[in-house]
Amino acid sequence: MRRLILVLSLSGLIWMTSCDKSQKHFKIDALMRSYFSFGNGSTWTYYSLSDSADKEQIVVQDRTEGKMVWDAFDQEFIQVDLASDKDSIYKLRVIADDQNTSRAVMFVKDTFFKHTMDWSCASGILSGIKGSGDSFTLHPSMTIAGKTYANVVELKPLHSVVYRKIFLAQNIGIVRKELLSGKTYVLKSYSVQ
Name which residue leads in pLDDT, 22 or 32: 32
Contact 155, 18 (CB under 8 A): no
Three-state DSSP class for 22? coil
Round to whole Å and give the CA distance between 144 and 175: 8
| Phi-psi sector, 133: left (phi>0), alpha (psi -120 to 50), beta | left
What per-residue confidence (pLDDT) applies to 11?
44
What per-residue confidence (pLDDT) applies to 137?
84
Q: Can you tell me the mean pLDDT for 139-150? A: 95
What per-residue confidence (pLDDT) applies to 13?
39
Backbone angles phi, psi at 112, to 5 degrees: -155, 170
CA distances from 113 to 18, 19, 93, 164 (A): 41, 38, 13, 17
28-32, 129-133, 142-146: the lowest-pLDDT one = 129-133
Q: Can you tell me the mean pLDDT for 40-55? A: 94
Three-state DSSP class for 156? strand
pLDDT bracket for residue 21 (50, 70, 90): low
Burial of 20 (0-12, 13-18, 19+ CB in 10 A): exposed
pLDDT per position as a tens digit, 83-123: 888 866 677 888 887 766 777 776 665 544 455 556 667 76
pLDDT per position as a tens digit, 153-188: 888 877 677 778 889 999 999 999 998 889 999 999
